[in-house]
Copies of this chain bind each other. A is one copy, B any other.
Amino acid sequence: MAQPTAIVLLSGGLDSATVLALAQEQGYACRTLAVGYGQRHAVELVAAARVSGALGALEHRVMHVDLAGIGGSALTDARIAVPELASPGIPVTYVPARNTLMLSLALGWAEVSGARDIFIGVNAVDYSGYPDCRPEFIAAFQRLANLATKAGVEGVHFRIHTPLINWSKARIISEGTRLGVNYAQTVSCYQATADLAACGRCDSCRLRREGFLAAQIQDPTRYA
């Protein structure tokens, strides 16, 4: 039997790099997809390509969609500041419809390339309160995927895999380290510099640093 293929959404961050290694461990040959959506931290696209190559994906693509044209998020609108302290509720770094769009692009590529499995590194534990990281959102998208597509109508059953959804950051880092992920290649910071140095102060930097501490693994992150 031919090796099954999967589409893995790759952001350039720590979580999705781990997801790629986990999908490969499960036996999938992976095509990786990074999405440029007008994010202020577009250097993450550089990191995504690097991670894909280092882990030996079949193919890496970057697709672009203009979410900056919608606005409404600190990640796509330079006029909204990235917060340095976690705040209650859904934060200003929430990007309207982002995961719906990314999964839609992955679904289109899955259908055309003959993959029926899509991996995404959402996390419901320390996920900062994004609604489109919740299990009920993922279940609804999987249902939609099977109604939206020609492949679905013809009997293919698409599956959305979220291996990290209930994992702590420490567990993610431990598992990825076991699988040989080089986290020095990843960037989590919402406002990393052009050469991928992290600010060390934003919410995302804080979660990453605490993860390495809790996992008792040396943090390879370069701070600006």
Identical copies in the complex: 2
A137 is an interface residue with CB less than 8 A from chain B: yes
The A interface, classified by DSSP as helix, strand, loop or mixed, is helix
Q: Please, which residues of chain B bring their CB within 8 A of the CB of A105?
A: 65, 70, 97, 101
Q: Please, which residues of chain B bring their CB within 8 A of the CB of A137?
A: 144, 147-148
Query: Contact: A63 with B69, CB < 8 Å?
Result: yes
Within 8 A of B (CB), among A126-155: 131-132, 134, 136-137, 140-141, 143-144, 147-150, 152-153
Contacting residue for A64 out of B65, B95, B141, B150, CB 8 A = B65
Q: How far is the CB of A156 from chain B (nearest CB, A)?
A: 11
What total of chain A residues lie within 8 Å of the partner, measured CB to CB? 41
A30 is an interface residue with CB less than 8 A from chain B: no
Query: Contact: B144 with A131, CB < 8 Å?
Result: no
A72 is an interface residue with CB less than 8 A from chain B: yes
Interface stretch (choices A106-114, A174-182, A183-191, A193-201): A106-114
Q: How far is the CB of A210 from chain B (nearest CB, A)?
A: 25
A150–B72 CA distance with the chains assembled, in angstroms: 11
Q: Please, which residues of chain B bring their CB within 8 A of the CB of A98?
A: 108
Q: Please, which residues of chain B bring their CB within 8 A of the CB of A61?
A: 69
Query: Contact: B144 with A108, CB < 8 Å?
Result: no
Query: Contact: B111 with A72, CB < 8 Å?
Result: yes
Known contacts A65-B65, A147-B137: does B112 contact A108 (CB below 8 Å)? no
A52-95 interface bits toward B, Cβ cutoff 8 Å, 1 = contact, 0 = none: 00000000010111110111100000000000000000100011
When A and B form their complex, which 8 residue pairs have the shortest distance between CB atoms, in order from nearest?
A72-B112, A97-B108, A96-B108, A65-B65, A96-B111, A100-B104, A140-B144, A70-B108
